A and B are shown apart, each in its own frame.
Chain A
Amino acid sequence: MSIEIELGLLEAYSRGEISRRDIQDCINEPVSFGDLLMQLHAHGLKLPRVASDPNSQGVRLIRQLAERGARVG
């Protein structure tokens, strides 16, 4: 059964200011990502677009691997 998360926490999560772990710390209960997604929607909030740097090592690596994957098929 999912626990209702207070709106302020959901808004902060949606803005990418806090993580799911921070929410769990606040309410002292496990929160599944799926429950979070549904509660975000219930309040008209978006999923956070947590990003780092488009030129980061990870993004470049994924791009290179995906390009190679397309060549290989």
Chain B
Amino acid sequence: MSDDLTARIIVMDTGPLITLSVADCLDYLLYPGVPVYVPDAVLYEATQDSAALGAAGILEWVQLHSERVHTISTETFFNYVQSRAASPGRRERDLGERAAIEAIHDGIHLAGDERAILMTEDDRVLRQVLVLEAELTARMIPITTRDFLEGMEAAHRINSVEEVYLRAEDAGRMAS
């Protein structure tokens, strides 16, 4: 592989963060050695309830790695925060997803031949978005949590994909 290959990881929804957090594997996101970006609303959804599964670990990890893990500000989230001021109990569906879509349109400015790896719990929705916008497809590559872990296992950076999932499921057992 060319050593000048540049990429960044964009975490598109809460699933990858929570799965890796409860399995105590968030550092795996750093193993590719590229910057990690999280849209503001995705981070908010994952951590708004500090007692929620994985939330404390995610907050701590983001703070600990602030030089490598960055938040992407979006208008979607800004508008949500404004609306919450008027109606504090308001919950909004697909907030993170909408912020993430905005982020890949407007918040990510790829340089030269840089690529964005769009990490998601389920790439079906994302692929539909990208198919509709061909100019994004060439440089933005959707990847599921499992595919990310498969790549890491193939590179011998982690022992087992299945082990991560079993640990995440075990966390669900302990929390329920």
Q: Of A19, A24, A66, A67, which contacts B122 at CB under 8 A?
A: A19
Bound form: Cα–Cα A70–B28 in Å:
12
| Cβ contacts under 8 Å, B32 to chain A | 62, 65-66, 68-69
Closest residue of A by beta carbon distance from B16: A33
With A41-B172, A46-B165, A66-B151 given, is the CB distance from A34 to B53 under 8 Å? yes
Q: Does any Cβ of B come within 8 Å of A72's Cβ? A: yes
Bound form: Cα–Cα A56–B143 in Å:
9
Interface SS, A side: helix
Residue positions of B touching A, CB distance < 8 A: 1, 3, 5, 7, 13-15, 18-19, 22, 31-34, 45-46, 52-55, 91-94, 97, 115, 117, 121-125, 141-148, 150-152, 154-157, 165, 168-169, 171-173, 175-176
Give me 13 other A-B pairs in contact (C-beta within 8 A), A33-B14, A38-B176, A62-B151 excluded: A20-B15, A20-B122, A24-B93, A33-B13, A34-B53, A37-B18, A50-B144, A50-B146, A54-B150, A58-B151, A63-B152, A64-B1, A65-B34
